[in-house]
Each structure stands twice: as structure tokens, then as C-alpha cells.
């Protein structure tokens, strides 16, 4: 496994892959099974696998956790080598954003709901760094997690709008045995918060069972999630949503029979903000 830190080095190794297919998994590091599942999927579908590790400052607001975001590069490299990754790109901030850097990539509509409402500069940071990484890596396929449902929708839109010549593959959310979605940020949770954090998945399941029973009223589905979340005293709800999975617009009243549903939420445990979602078709 090669590890490179500059764009020139990356391009030199990448040129050696010629016309071989390249699967790309962008990450912010501090890897877990969720990341590794993306890598494994990329491994089965491509001749070469490239991962990147970059904690992108542009997708954090000044009040967020950039400086304390967990990092452990040695452990990450060990895990990536164990999955037969060919090439890891680990750029510095200066490589990605030199002092005269001036360009932002911005997707307008699907960034306005859900996470984008609460984190207004977040998706510009994401699309800017992912566009740059796509131009550097030149992948055949790029792999993202359903865990960040809106991110996948936003990136698909960017790829369509800007004609990136690659396929976006969205992989299922990997969960702990008690249902908590794996996340690098779970490390911040105290023991009690970690126990309480299972309430996100429970809330999604409570709405799912109502949906499976035939209820299509979005208010009832949101109320079911809220009721479950309110049983956990350590949980402070930022938002809960029952939205159209394509437009991400909130459903009001009855959900049309032929439409899908994205249930999603953000919940604080102390300073730690957790997100989770469930896609129902």
C-alpha cells in the first residue's frame, strides 16, 4: 500500500494504473467498520482501490469540533493495509487549500433542508473538497455511506450537474450490535451517553413499524420518533424529519402511495451531535 501526501506524487502513482478501474473512498479518518465496508465494496468492484484521509476544515463551522476531531493515522493505515487498499492520499490543509485558494463548489436546492438548515456552510465545504478529490483521484466509482443520507444526495446532484465521469455508490449504514450507527464521533460519548445513544435507532424503528403497518401520515411518523426520543433524558433533539428521499423536502400530512420516505434526525448528547436515518421505499 502506497501512502502519498502531495498531488504530484498522487498523480504519478495514479498514471501507473492506466485504464484500470479505480474505486475511491473519501474519509476523514479515525476509521471504523462503516468505512471498511465501503472499502470492501470498492475492492470487489474495481481493479484498484484508493482511499483519502483528510479532515476538511471547510465543512466545519467555527463552533464545531474541527480541532478535537479524533485522529489516529497509524491505526488508519494499518486498517487500510488490511483491506488491500492500493493507495492512500493524506494531504495537508496547505496542499488542499494553498494561501491563494478562492473557489467554492455549491449545490443550491438539496442543501437547503435537514443538515444544511442547521449547518449552513457545511455542504459547500463537502462539495468543494469532494470535487477537488474527484479531480485529483479520477475514480471510476466513488463510495459513500447511507449514514450521511443528505451528503449522498448532494454529491449525486453535483456529479450530475458538473458532469463528473464516475459512478456514485451508496452503501448501507453499518451499526453496532445495539443499533447505534458507527461514527468517529461516538468516541466523544460518555458511558451513559453511549448507552442512551441507542435511542436514535429505536426512534427510527418505532416510525418504521408504524409505516410498515400502513400509516402514511408524516405527522404521526414524526410524533412516534419524538415520543421515543423523549424517553431518553440525556438526548436533546436538534431535528427530526420525515422527508422525500429525492428532493429532501419535508412531507406534510399524507405521504403519496408511490413516494419513498427518508426518516432522519440529529440529536445532541452533551456537546456531541449524532445523526441517523432510515430510507423506506
Count of residues that interact with ligand AMP, criterion CB under 6 A? 17
Kindly state whether residue 35 participates in binding ligand AMP, applying the rule CB under 6 A: yes
What whole-number distance in Å separates Cα of residue 276 and Cα of residue 182? 10
Kindly state whether residue 110 participates in binding ligand AMP, applying the rule CB under 6 A: no
Query: What residues numbered 10-29 form the site for ligand AMP, per CB under 6 A?
Result: 27-28
For ligand AMP, which residue of 130, 181, 235, 255 counts as binding (CB under 6 A)? Answer: 181
C-alpha cell belonging to residue 267: 440529536
Check residue 244 and report its DSSP letter.
Answer: -
- What b/e readout covers 49-84, taking b as 16+ CB neighbours within 10 angstroms? bbbbbbbbebbbeeebeeeebeeeeeebbebbeebe
Q: Considering only 80-88, 110-118, 176-184, 186-194, which stretch makes contact with ligand AMP by CB under 6 A?
A: 176-184
Q: How many CB atoms lie within 10 A of CB 179?
A: 15
Output the smallest distance, CB 102 to ligand AMP, in A: 24
Kindly state whether residue 174 participates in binding ligand AMP, applying the rule CB under 6 A: yes
Kindly state whether residue 127 participates in binding ligand AMP, applying the rule CB under 6 A: no
Identify any residues that bridge with 53 across adjacent strands, giving them in sequence order: 27
Output the smallest distance, CB 255 to ligand AMP, in A: 25
Going by C-alpha positions, the residue among 205, 213, 220, 204 that lies closest to residue 255 is 220
Whose cell is 478562492? That residue is 102
Output the smallest distance, CB 229 to ligand AMP, in A: 20
The CA-based dihedral angle spanning residues 76, 80, 81, 87, taken in that order and rounded to the nearest 10 degrees: -110
Query: Quick one: 140 or 183, whose CB is closer to ligand AMP?
Result: 183
Q: Considering only 33-41, 65-73, 222-230, 265-273, which stretch makes contact with ligand AMP by CB under 6 A?
A: 33-41
Output the smallest distance, CB 16 to ligand AMP, in A: 26
| Strands laid side by side in the 261-269 sheet | 235-243, 261-269, 272-280
Kindly state whether residue 184 participates in binding ligand AMP, applying the rule CB under 6 A: yes
Query: Quick one: 12 or 61, whose CB is closer to ligand AMP?
Result: 61
35 is an active site residue: yes
Kindly state whether residue 80 participates in binding ligand AMP, applying the rule CB under 6 A: no
Biggest alpha carbon distance in the chain?
A: 56
Query: Quick one: 200 or 261, whose CB is closer to ligand AMP?
Result: 200
Residues 265/276, Cβ–Cβ less than 8 Å: yes
Catalytic residues: 35
Residues that bind ligand AMP (CB under 6 A): 27-28, 34-35, 37-38, 144-145, 147-148, 171, 173-174, 181-184
Amino acid at each position: 500500500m502506497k501512502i502519498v501526501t502531495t498531488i504530484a506524487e498522487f498523480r504519478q502513482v495514479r498514471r501507473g494504473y492506466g485504464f484500470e478501474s479505480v474505486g475511491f473512498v473519501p474519509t476523514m479518518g479515525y476509521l471504523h467498520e462503516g468505512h471498511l465496508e465501503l472499502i470492501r465494496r470498492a475492492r470487489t468492484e474495481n481493479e484498484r482501490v484508493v482511499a483519502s484521509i483528510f479532515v476538511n476544515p471547510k465543512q466545519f463551522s467555527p463552533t464545531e469540533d474541527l480541532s478535537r476531531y479524533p485522529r489516529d493515522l497509524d491505526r488508519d493505515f494499518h486498517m487500510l493495509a488490511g483491506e488491500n487498499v492500493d493507495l492512500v492520499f493524506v494531504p495537508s490543509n496547505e496542499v488542499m487549500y494553498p494561501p491563494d485558494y478562492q473557489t467554492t463548489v455549491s449545490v443550491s436546492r438539496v442543501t437547503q433542508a435537514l443538515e444544511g438548515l442547521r449547518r449552513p456552510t457545511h455542504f459547500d465545504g463537502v462539495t468543494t473538497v469532494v470535487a477537488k478529490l474527484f479531480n485529483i483521484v479520477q475514480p471510476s466509482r466513488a463510495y459513500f455511506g447511507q449514514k450521511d443520507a443528505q451528503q449522498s444526495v448532494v454529491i449525486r446532484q453535483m456529479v450530475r450537474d458538473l458532469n463528473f465521469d464516475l459512478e456514485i455508490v451508496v452503501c448501507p449504514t453499518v451499526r453496532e450490535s445495539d443499533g447505534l450507527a458507527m461514527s468517529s464521533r461516538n468516541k466523544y460519548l460518555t458511558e451513559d451517553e453511549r448507552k442512551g445513544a441507542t435511542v436514535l435507532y429505536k426512534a427510527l424503528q418505532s416510525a418504521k413499524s408504524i409505516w410498515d403497518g400502513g400509516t402514511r401520515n408524516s405527522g404521526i411518523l414524526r410524533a412516534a420518533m419524538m415520543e421515543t426520543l423523549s424517553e431518553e433524558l440525556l438526548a436533546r433533539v436538534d431535528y427530526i424529519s420525515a422527508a422525500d428521499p429525492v428532493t429532501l423536502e419535508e412531507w406534510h400530512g399524507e405521504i403519496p402511495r408511490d413516494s419513498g420516505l427518508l426518516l432522519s434526525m440529529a440529536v445532541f448528547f452533551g456537546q456531541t451531535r449524532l445523526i441517523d436515518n432510515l430510507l423506506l421505499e
